Amino acid sequence: MIYFDPGFYFDPIRAQIMDVYKELVKSFLPAGILEYFELISLEKEGEHIRLHLQEKDLIPEEYKSQPHRSNGFMDEIKVKDFPIRELFVTLHIKRRRWLLTKEQKKVSRDWNLVAPGTRMTSEFSAFLKEVIR
């Protein structure tokens, strides 16, 4: 299993290499997914590749002004994606939830309400709507 650590010290050459890897990863994932999710790990086993994605800690705009804290993740969702180089691909997606501390109410991003004009593509939108069903 390969883990990705975004918290490394700054090294210009390493940063440049990471930029190349990020662009490569974007090519294999649904368009726009890296706006809201981070690739946490990758597992390759035989003819299968598993990409583990975790929603970034970016609370939805409608809750930003309210006192809140991250409140863990929902159950992982497994989605079969298009094959890559004859490898079967499964996306393991962990959606985040937040706690509005004043109201003690748990909230998550409603993918049906993501505003038009964001960088999310229709492909990614359709992908997420299918995932949350």
Total domains in the fold of the chain: 1
pLDDT digits (tens, 9 = 90+) for 88-100: 988 898 999 999 9
Please, what is the Cα angle at 70 between 67 and 73, to 5 degrees? 145
Query: Mind spelling out the 3-state secondary structure of 3-54?
Result: ECCCCCCCCHHHHHHHHHHHHHHHHHCCCCHHHHEEEEEEEEECCEEEEEEE
pLDDT at residue 133, rounded to an integer: 61
Average pLDDT, the chain: 81
pTM summary value:
0.72
Percent of residues, the chain, with pLDDT higher than 90: 41
Paired tokens of 69: 């804290």
Q: Comparing 68 with 19, which gets the higher pLDDT?
A: 68
Question: Which residue range is the domain that position 102 belongs to?
Answer: 2-131
**pLDDT above 80: residue 45:** yes
